[in-house]
Chains A and B, each alone.
Chain A
Amino acid sequence: MSQDAQLRIISALVENKPGVLFRISNLFRRKSFNIQSIAAGPSETAGLTRITITMFSTYAQADQVMKNVDNLVDVRGVEPFDASNASVRELALVKLSPGAPSTRPEIMNCIETFRGNVVDISPETLTVEVSGDPDKINAFISMARNYGLKEVARTGAVALTRAMTTNEEIAKW
């Protein structure tokens, strides 16, 4: 794969009709592109679903696949996103089994640092919710490996374009 291969984000607005997700994922399979994550949910308009796909690819490959996705009859529009033009967020649930109670304060500290929430707790396990950009979640997961990481469930990234505001404008808010 050529040098500009990287994680890329594609966002598509599609009609909520049977088979749409299949058509899109089938397209990726046909072109031998590997979907890293795919997240779909209702959009601001009834009947339309917003799908966020992350894939590891070159620019040319992403461009091809976007045109193909946009060609699908049920797709309203497709946009390429990256961290510079969009807010990208993902949510993960991470189950830990920390073992010795003495490590707990350390764990809580770590969760705090990542602004995680404990959503479930039992004598043996601890389930933490973290959200943020995918890199942050990767970082949390690698930390968690030190504390008896048991299971991870991630939603996959979702993204929306960011207004290209200057710092001064942000300051006015």
Chain B
Amino acid sequence: MFGIPGGANMPIYDALYDQQSFQYTPLNERGIRHILARHEQSAAHMADGYARASGKVGVCMGTSGPGATNLMTGLATAYMDSSPVVAITGQVPSSVIGTDGFQETDVVGMATSITKYTFQPLRVEDVPYSVKAAFYLAATRRPQPVLVDLPKDVQQMEDDIEFPQSVDFPNYGPLPEPDPTILKTIARMILESQHPVILGGGGVKAANAYLELRALAELLFAPVATSFMGKGAFPENHPLSLGCMGMHGSERTNKLIPECDVLLVVGSRLSDRTTGKIEKFCPNTKIIHIDADKAEIGKNFKPLVLSLVADAKKALVAITKEVEAGMLGRHREAWVKKAQEVSVATPALDGNGTYLSGVETVKMLRRILPPKAIVTTEVGQHQMWCEQHFQVIEPRTFFSSGGLGTMGFGFPAAIGAKIARPDVPVFDIAGDGSFAMTENSLATSVEEDIPVTVVILNNRMLGMVAQWQRHFYNSRYSAVRLGNSPDFVKLAEAYGAEGARVETIPELETAVGRAMRSHVTTVIEVPISPEENVLPMLPPGAGLKEMIVG
């Protein structure tokens, strides 16, 4: 649990004081470990990172008013990426609600659009049910954040209350089993297809359907592309992997996709970032859309051929079963060969002599880090370089704010992920602008002994915005120059973390090796050119085949 105390949640913190393993002890079955954030936004991102890395619910806390409003960015981030986070906020006493009391905000009203559900128990006997239900709702069906707003007087009341065994939401049961008739039709379409492609989205990860996706792809000889949120749903070093498609996907993948005759979309909302201009998306392809959320079907992409509302894992298993017999002895050599040619990575861009390049650094990091290492990113060019050049191989090892695009997500999320997976190295690949947004989490990581590594690709620019200004606003650079401060090495040292500045590949290797062995958080600054672009890119409004390459 990650949070910050304040007036309206002090009773909760007082109760936490009694938890045996309250501080400085590793997570155990009985105790609740609380980690003191330095900003509630970071607390929410930490909970989110924990959730993404563990597949379990992450919890964040804030006091009423500003504590709760600070949580909102983190909740919105988790909501957009379907991550199970429970937020517990303090609220002014119930008698004061509605009077604009000190540190009162309508948190329930604010959070309604960015949560699956909100609770505000006004009687102590409703608290256990609300808490139990919050965890249940956050973790089931499409995972999403849930908020519990607890008035201070309710926190203070004491009563003997049984913790409920189960909660009851009549219209919110488990997802329906995949419909057998639809399954049969899907199977027939896939078997008839000559050039199938599977598009995996974040829903594959949420359903923990990594192996099932792989089994189906291998059975069908179907190449697999992913959305950015789906990155890592399929091992990117697999011969059938096409990597990411979309705005900053690979150019050749984007060109191949419209050539498939059947596209099996699993757990992707087909956002504009993935499809390019929707009217130009796969005009001649039969599209099958499988999603856990019926509201995603037909939301962004209307002319679907077939859709199935189901859990991704169950659907994939069922489809595999249906097509198994039909695939006996079949191959798709030509198609697979074509796909494999597509998935060859673009050649490395070299630095211009003065600087390491962002692309080079990201590729090098992939070579140095073990496949099980967890990588988070911030938002900007560095994130897109990771999309293009950082191959994700193992499940649950890559976390990025794909939906909301929240700068400042990566570092606290890395801290949360490290709590979930203390056994693996955790790296945040950051831009200098984004890191500045939550860099004070250095204090948390040092004080609470949660060693992670931040690699800052420092272009002294809000690079992504600068790139758009270069391409679409005639190089009129407006408010994107960040200058030379801070000195990130000194900043790290000021917090008691380690800092290093690296200018060559061998220096990078040494610094990363040292960081992985270090017991304290390390910040590695890599100065890069302020001019480097993320290429190729799909300009807004363009179809998949119309990427800008250079």
Contacts and interface: CB of A to CB of B under 8 A. Distances in A.
Interface of A: 15, 18-19, 22-23, 26, 30, 60, 63-64, 67-68, 70-71, 73-77
B26 interface: no
A73 B108 contact: no
Interface in B254-313: 293-295, 297-299, 302
Interface stretch (B113-121, B205-213, B485-493): B113-121
Interface in B169-210: 169-172
A77 B117 CA distance: 17
A123 B151 CA distance: 54
Contacts, number: 39
B331 to A, nearest CB: 40
A26 B171 contact: no
Interface string B104-129: 00001100110011101000000000
Among B116, B120, B170, the most chain A Cβ lie within 10 Å of the Cβ of B170
For chain B, give the interface size range: 20 to 34
By secondary structure, the A interface counts as helix
Given A71-B294, A73-B116, A73-B117, A64 B299 contact: yes
A126 to B, nearest CB: 40
A67 B172 contact: no
Nearest to B169: A73
A64 B298 contact: yes
A63 B172 CA distance: 19
B425 to A, nearest CB: 38
Contact of B298 (A15, A60, A71, A77): A60
Given A60-B302, A64-B299, A77-B171, A70 B294 contact: yes
B137 interface: yes
A73 B140 CA distance: 12
Nearest to B172: A73
A63 B171 contact: no
5 pairs of A and B residues whose beta carbons are closest in the complex: A67-B295, A76-B171, A68-B295, A67-B294, A73-B172
A75 B172 CA distance: 9
B219 to A, nearest CB: 32
Given A60-B302, A73-B172, A76-B171, 8 more contacts: A19-B118, A64-B298, A67-B294, A68-B295, A70-B294, A70-B295, A73-B117, A75-B171
Contact of A71 (B112, B113, B295): B295
B117 A30 contact: no
Contacts of A18: 120
By secondary structure, the B interface counts as loop
A63 B302 CA distance: 11
Contacts of A74: 169, 171
23 contacts: A19-B108, A22-B109, A26-B112, A26-B113, A30-B113, A60-B298, A64-B295, A64-B298, A64-B299, A67-B295, A67-B297, A68-B295, A70-B295, A71-B293, A71-B294, A71-B295, A73-B137, A73-B172, A74-B169, A74-B171, A75-B171, A76-B170, A77-B171
Interface in B434-474: none
B403 to A, nearest CB: 15
Nearest to A13: B171
A27 to B, nearest CB: 8
A67 B292 CA distance: 12
A23 B112 contact: yes
Among B118, B169, B172, B293, the most chain A Cβ lie within 10 Å of the Cβ of B172
Among B109, B171, B297, the most chain A Cβ lie within 10 Å of the Cβ of B171
A18 B170 CA distance: 17
A71 B112 CA distance: 14
Contacts of B171: 70, 73-77
Contacts of B302: 60
B510 to A, nearest CB: 50
Contacts of B120: 18
Contacts of B118: 19
A46 to B, nearest CB: 14
B430 to A, nearest CB: 32
B116 to A, nearest CB: 7
B89 to A, nearest CB: 16
A78 B299 CA distance: 18
B218 to A, nearest CB: 33
A67 B299 CA distance: 10
B410 to A, nearest CB: 28
A25 to B, nearest CB: 10
Nearest to B109: A22
Contacts of A76: 170-171
B298 A63 contact: yes
Nearest to B108: A19
Contacts of A70: 171, 294-295
Nearest to A76: B171
Nearest to A78: B171
A115 to B, nearest CB: 39
A171 to B, nearest CB: 39
Contacts of B170: 15, 76
A63 B297 CA distance: 10
A19 B116 CA distance: 13
Nearest to A77: B171
Among A23, A26, A60, A67, the most chain B Cβ lie within 10 Å of the Cβ of A67
Nearest to B302: A60
A11 to B, nearest CB: 15
A33 B109 CA distance: 19
A68 B172 CA distance: 13
Contacts of B113: 26, 30
A124 B467 CA distance: 70
Contacts of B298: 60, 63-64
Nearest to B118: A19
Nearest to A63: B298
